[in-house]
Structure 1
Amino acid sequence: MDEGLLGQIDKERLPHHIAIIMDGNGRWAEEKGQDRLYGHYHGVESVRNIVEGCAELGVHYLTLYAFSTENWDRPQQEVEGLMTLLVDTIRKEVPTLNKNNIRLHVIGDMNMLPQAALNALEEALAMTSGNTGLNLIMALSYSSRWELVNAVKNIGLDVKAGKIDPETISHDTLQRYLTTSKFPDPELMIRTSGEYRISNFLLYQLAYAELYFTNTRWPDFRKENLYEAIIDFQARERRFGKTGQQIQEETQLA
C-alpha cells in the first residue's frame, strides 16, 4: 500500500459511487504471449484488490463493467471461459464479501446468462443481502442502450395500463425504471488500458461524472492506481453547469 498516496486523499470528500470499465485483460495477455483468458483470470486479482481498497476507504458504491451485451459476440471459447470464470469466482468470493460486509448487486440482461452463472449469482445475492458496507454492483450482460430501451418499454406498458399519466413523466420517472434505480449516479468513472470511450456503459447515469482514463491495463491496476484516480477527482471543480464563482459562493455559505 502506498501510504504517501493514501495520505493525500481527503476522506471527507470521497466519491460516493465509483464506476470502472475494466479494460485491457486480453491485450495484457497477448503482450505476454498468452491467450486472452489468461488475462481475464489475472484480472480477477485486480477486482479483489480494488474492491478491498474501496471498502477500506469507505466508498459506498462500486460498479464494475464485467461483461457487456456486445461481449457475447466474442469467440465462443472466450465467452465460455469467461462464464466458467464468473461462476467459479462468485462462489469463491462470497465468504470474503460477507467477512468484509460487502453486498453484491447485479445489473444487466440476466436472461442471456447460462443457468449455472444465474444460479451462482442468485445464491451470492441472497447470501450477501444482509450486508451494510460497500455495495458492489456487477454490470453483467449489460449495455446502456439495452437498459434505456427496456425502461422506455416498461414505462410505455404502464402508461397503456393507466398506471402513469404521460404528462407527469419526468427525470425521476425514468430513473425509477432503470436497473440502477436503487443507486446514486457515479461521481467518478475510471477506464483502464488507454481507451477514451464510454462503450455503452451507464450513458444516462454518467451525465455529470468525472471521467478518468489511464493507460494501465486492468490486470496491473491496483490500490495505488485507484488512489491516483481519487486524488485527481478531488482536485477537480465539479460545477454541474454552474460557474466556478457560484460553486465557491455556495461552498462558503454551506
Structure 2
Amino acid sequence: MIQTLKQWLTGYTEDTKPKDEDRLHALKKGPIPRHVAVIMDGNGRWAKKRGLPRIAGHREGMKTVREIVRAADDLGIQSLTLYSFSTENWKRPKEEVEYLMKLPEEFLKTDLEDLKRRNVRVKMLGQEEDLPPHTQRAMRTFQEETKENTGLTLNLALNYGSRTEIVMALKRIIEDVETGKMDKDEVDEQTVDRYLYTAGQPDPDLIIRTSGEIRISNFMLWQLAYSELWFTEVAWPDFNRELFYQAIMDYQQRSRRYGAV
C-alpha cells in the first residue's frame, strides 16, 4: 500500500491520478500523526523570484494555509500548528509587518464559517498583548467563535518564540510554588507541559519546514523532543496537499523508538 501511495504521489499522470478520497483512504491505513507543526518558510523568496513585493508571497501563502488546514482536517489530525509570526519577525520592514498583522482579519473574513462547518477550533500560541488591537480582536473572535468545536485544533503561532514560552512557563511555576499552590518537589516534565501554550495538546509527532532551511528557528523547543522532522526545498506558497500527503507518508515509514533499541 505504501509503495502504491508513493507512486500516486510522485509518479502519476493526469490520466492515472487517483481520486483524493482514495489517497486519503490509503494514508489512513497507516499511523496518522496526532499533531503536525509547520514552519511556513519562503514567502518572501517566492515573491522575489517572481519580481513581486514580499507581501505578494504572504498573500499567496494564505491560500496554502487554507489548503493544508483542510488536508489536515480530512486526515483526522488532532492538532495543526502553523508558525505564522515569530517574536523575531518584528525586525522585518514596517510595511511587511503591518501587512502580516492584517492577515488574521482577512483570514477571519474568508475562512471562519468554513472552519466552523468543519468543527475546527482555533487557538493562538504567543504573546497577544504585543499585537496591534485589530489583530488581537481578530484572534479573540476566532477563538471565541470556535471554542466549542471538537475537531481539529488549529494553533496559530503568532508573536511566538519558544524560549519566551518556556521562560514564561517557568515564572508561573515559580510563582505557584512560592504562593503554596504546589510543592517544588511536584515539578516534573508533565508540570511544565501544563504551563506551556500547548497545554492539553499532544506534542508534535511531525514538524515540517518548507523552503530548504534546515533549522528549527526557536519553534516549540520543549515540545519537539521526539518529533520527526521533514524538510522540503519547496517554498510555502508552492506547498500543497500532495506534498503534505508525502510528508505524512514518509512519517508513516519511520520507526519511532523514543530512545529504545
TM-score, normalization: structure 1? 0.92
Cα distance in 2, alignment partners of residues 2 and 36 from structure 1: 35
Aligned to 1:205: 223
Letter in 1 for 2:140: E
Equivalent position SS for 1:185:
coil
How many pairs were matched up? 243
- Evaluate the alpha carbon distance shift between residue 221 and residue 188 of structure 1 in structure 2; reply closer, same or farther with a 3 A threshold: same
Aligned to 1:186: 204
Native 8 Å contact 2:38 2:208 kept in 1: yes
Q: Please give the residue correspondences for 1:147-186 in structure 2 after superposition, counting only pairs within 5 Å.
A: 147-186=165-204
Q: Which runs of 5+ in 2 are unaligned?
A: 1-16
Task: Say whether residues 1:65 and 2:83 are aligned partners.
Answer: yes
| Cα displacement (A) at 1:85 | 2.1
Cα distance in 2, alignment partners of residues 166 and 59 from structure 1: 35
Q: Please give the residue correspondences for 1:105-124 in structure 2 after superposition, counting only pairs within 5 Å.
A: 105-124=123-142
Native 8 Å contact 1:13 1:234 kept in 2: yes
Cα distance in 2, alignment partners of residues 241 and 97 from structure 1: 38
CA RMSD of aligned residues (A): 1.4
Native 8 Å contact 2:104 2:139 kept in 1: no
Cα distance in 2, alignment partners of residues 11 and 107 from structure 1: 31
Aligned to 2:213: 195
Cα distance in 2, alignment partners of residues 99 and 16 from structure 1: 21
Native 8 Å contact 2:24 2:75 kept in 1: no
Post-superposition CA distance 1:31-60 (Å, at most 9, x none)? 000011000000000000000111111111
Aligned to 1:92: 110
| Cα displacement (A) at 1:99 | 1.4
Cα distance in 2, alignment partners of residues 11 and 120 from structure 1: 38
Equivalent position SS for 2:202:
coil
| Cα displacement (A) at 1:167 | 1.8
Task: Say whether residues 1:26 and 2:44 are aligned partners.
Answer: yes
Taking only the aligned residue pairs, the percentage that are identical comes to 47
| Cα displacement (A) at 1:89 | 1.6
Native 8 Å contact 1:193 1:218 kept in 2: yes
- Evaluate the alpha carbon distance shift between residue 2 and residue 129 of structure 1 in structure 2; reply closer, same or farther with a 3 A threshold: farther
Cα distance in 2, alignment partners of residues 206 and 155 from structure 1: 21
| Cα displacement (A) at 1:190 | 0.3
Task: Say whether residues 1:46 and 2:61 are aligned partners.
Answer: no
Post-superposition CA distance 1:102-155 (Å, at most 9, x none)? 111111011111011111111111111121111111100001000000011111
Letter in 1 for 2:50: K
Task: Say whether residues 1:9 and 2:27 are aligned partners.
Answer: yes
Q: Which runs of 5+ in 1 are unaligned?
A: 244-254
TM-score, normalization: structure 2? 0.90
